[in-house]
């Protein structure tokens, strides 16, 4: 391989954020970092404890200058606390409180943990305006359905993260809140006019850019008025025309995971990588599925695309320059991180809402209605069990629920039913309604969005399923 070919391969590799299984870095990742690989994205399976993550990131930095990223949103989406649940409430709870100083404190606390673990880019916050209640992928990850509220809290989140030199990655541009389809599975459509898009979906991104957000993540959503049937990740109209041009953004553009079906089932992984670079992306998050062979194939395809003219070399050099500028920003002196505190629980207590009267608990039977997690959240633990040690806890899927049997088991006992996004799960609503119809003294705890409420029951809304959300709900029950 000639020197120019090696230089081109290094540029191509420098656009990639790869992932891997396990809690130590594979030899191929370290080898590729030495040859210019852009960085890595960590997931829950890469995490055992903070000390282990620091050892891992130290090994990665010893091999190169990697961007080390993960999704640490607080609330339901967490990687550092994947095995226990986040100690911080998520955006829906923060939006319900609507105190931007609190949001800034929460995200600075998250940044403190990331700094201690050697992570330099947080794929957060979600700046999506969640106008579609049935949205299967955003929901409690959003600050709310009001564009101005989402905008001011997005700015606070960016400021909190970046106050400790952890780059924010504001997502999912140009907005994923008005969709009913999970882009992990298909291409969602945001079917609004450009005037609505500019006024509503873009308001938080415009505010974040004004606040100096170091990176923006693309969405695999089609906006017919802007991109036609093409997802924004692959659209020059979205990334070059709108984000770079109209909004004047000159920071790093990061793709959402390219292994999602919206990309792989349309143009393929390598094809999506080339097309996204060509229209304005700088860092390609490959997602959790692609392995080393895929990485090599993508690098080869990017190099080939430069050779045959599909990808201008200047565009690749531009991407490399933006990522280099981000690395320089990482290296700047940072203020001392804060000591861990109770800010997460304080925020959850301010967010939780009780409607009706929760009766004192007597030999409580707690039924947690089990529903499948979204791909973005994964198998993160949730529920109230750790804070109700005296209770009998049953985790039951609606399809297998024996309602008469449960009611018989609850005779002369307090009945508490815990749900998560019941409005999106008809079987959950049916199960809860059947229980409440016979036991109107039931207390229902909703740990997702409080869109649906059963008639008659006392109702606690937590606005999320993080550990402090659950604790705050139990405190209301036992006060």
Give the active site residues.
184, 256
In this structure, what is the dihedral angle of CA atoms 13, 17, 21, 26, given to the nearest 10 degrees?
A: 40
Backbone angles phi, psi at 440, to 5 degrees: -65, -10
How far CA 287 is from CA of 42, 184, 335, in Å, comes to 9, 10, 32
Distance, C-alpha 41 to centroid of its chain: 13
Tokens found for residue 238:
């979205």
Q: Across-strand partners of 18?
A: 40
Classify 367 as helix, strand or coil. strand
Tokens found for residue 380:
């993160």
Inter-axis angle of helices 50-63 and 27-34, nearest 10 = 40
How far CA 261 is from CA of 178, 182, 266, 339, in Å, comes to 19, 9, 8, 41
320-355 in b/e form (b: 16+ CB < 10 A) is bebbeebeebbeeeeeebbeeeebbbbbbbbbbebe
Spatial separation of the C-alpha atoms in residues 365 and 410, rounded to whole Å: 6
- With the C-alpha atoms ordered 128, 286, 379, 85, is the resulting torsion angle positive or negative? negative
Q: Across-strand partners of 325?
A: none
Task: Residue 74: name the closest of 471, 472, 464 by CA.
Answer: 464
């Amino acid at each position: 391989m000639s020197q120019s070919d090696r230089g081109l391969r290094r540029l191509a590799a420098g656009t990639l954020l790869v992932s891997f299984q396990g809690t130590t870095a594979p030899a191929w990742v370290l080898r590729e970092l030495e040859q210019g690989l852009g960085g890595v994205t960590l997931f829950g399976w890469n995490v055992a404890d903070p000390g282990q993550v620091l050892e891992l990131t130290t090994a990665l930095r010893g091999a190169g200058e990697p961007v080390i990223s993960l999704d640490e949103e607080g609330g339901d989406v967490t990687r550092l606390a994947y095995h226990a649940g986040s100690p911080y409430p998520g955006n829906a709870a923060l939006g319900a409180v609507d105190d931007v100083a609190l949001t800034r404190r929460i995200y600075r606390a998250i940044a403190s943990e990331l700094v201690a673990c050697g992570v330099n880019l947080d794929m957060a916050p979600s700046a999506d305006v969640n106008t579609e209640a049935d949205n299967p992928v955003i929901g409690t990850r959003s600050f709310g359905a009001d564009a101005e509220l989402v905008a001011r809290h997005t700015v606070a989140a960016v400021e909190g993260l970046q106050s400790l030199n952890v780059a924010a990655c504001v997502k999912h541009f140009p907005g994923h809140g008005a969709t009913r389809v999970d882009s992990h599975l298909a291409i969602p459509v945001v079917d609004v006019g450009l005037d609505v898009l500019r006024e509503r979906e873009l308001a938080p991104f415009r505010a974040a850019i004004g606040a100096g957000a170091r990176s923006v993540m693309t969405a695999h959503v089609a906006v017919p008025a802007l991109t036609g049937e093409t997802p924004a990740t692959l659209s020059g109209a979205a990334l070059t025309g709108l984000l770079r041009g109209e909004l004047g953004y000159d920071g790093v553009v990061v793709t959402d995971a390219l292994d999602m079906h919206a990309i792989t089932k349309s143009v393929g992984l390598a094809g999506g990588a080339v097309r996204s670079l060509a229209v304005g992306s700088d860092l390609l998050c490959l997602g959790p599925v692609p392995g080393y062979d895929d990485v090599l194939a993508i690098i080869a395809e990017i190099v080939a695309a430069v050779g045959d003219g599909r990808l201008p070399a200047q565009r690749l050099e531009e991407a490399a320059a933006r990522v280099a500028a981000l690395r320089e920003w990482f290296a700047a002196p940072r203020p001392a991180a804060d000591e861990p505190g109770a800010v997460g629980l304080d925020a959850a207590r301010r967010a939780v809402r009780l409607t009706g009267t929760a009766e004192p608990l007597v030999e409580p039977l707690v039924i947690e209605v089990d529903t499948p997690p979204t791909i973005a959240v994964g198998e993160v633990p949730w529920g109230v069990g750790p804070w109700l040690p005296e209770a009998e806890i049953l985790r039951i899927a609606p399809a297998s629920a024996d309602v008469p049997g449960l009611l018989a088991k609850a005779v002369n006992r307090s009945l508490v039913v815990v749900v998560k996004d019941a409005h999106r799960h008809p079987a959950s609503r049916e199960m809860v309604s059947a229980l409440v119809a016979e036991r109107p003294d039931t207390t229902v705890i909703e740990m997702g969005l409080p869109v649906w409420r059963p008639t008659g029951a006392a109702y606690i809304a937590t606005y999320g399923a993080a550990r402090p959300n659950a604790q705050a709900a139990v405190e209301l029950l036992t006060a």
